[in-house]
């Protein structure tokens, strides 16, 4: 389950996804700021600020990679359907 906390100048999102931080499973906390986001494991002092532009660029790259992988999978699926079994 995810949680969303809204304050006047920032939004904090606690995801249901977990990461392994020094051998412990921790939820991911994302603090939204006007020009950047801070990503950190819950209960950890580590924090990773990242600009919104970098997040957008990563999303664009990931989307293109997902489309490529889906096309490859569809092509393989189509090739398996055509191949006669016997």
pLDDT tens-digit profile of 27-75? Answer: 999 998 889 999 999 999 999 999 999 999 999 999 999 999 999 999 9
Residues for the chain: how many in total? 86
pLDDT surpassing 60 at residue 86: no
Q: How confident is the model at residue 82 (pLDDT cuts 50, 70, 90)?
A: confident
pTM of the model as a whole: 0.66
State both tokens at 43: 């209960």
How many structural domains does the chain have? 1
Decide: 31 and 10 in contact? Cβ < 8 Å: yes
What is the reported pLDDT for 58? Answer: 96
Distance, CA of 75 to CA of 79 (rounded, Å) = 6
The torsion angles phi and psi of 9, rounded to 5 degrees, stand at -110, -5
Per-residue pLDDT, averaged over 1-20, amounts to: 75
Q: Enter the DSSP assignment of 44.
A: -
Expressed as residue numbers, the domain containing 75 is: 3-82
């Amino acid at each position: 389950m995810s949680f969303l906390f809204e304050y006047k100048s920032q939004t904090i999102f606690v995801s249901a996804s977990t990461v392994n931080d020094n051998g412990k499973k921790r939820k991911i906390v994302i603090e939204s700021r006007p020009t950047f986001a801070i990503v950190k494991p819950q209960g950890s002092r580590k924090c990773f600020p990242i600009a919104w532009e970098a997040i957008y660029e990563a999303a664009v790259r990931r989307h293109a990679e997902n489309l490529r992988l889906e096309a490859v999978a569809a092509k393989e699926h189509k090739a398996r359907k055509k191949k006669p079994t016997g």
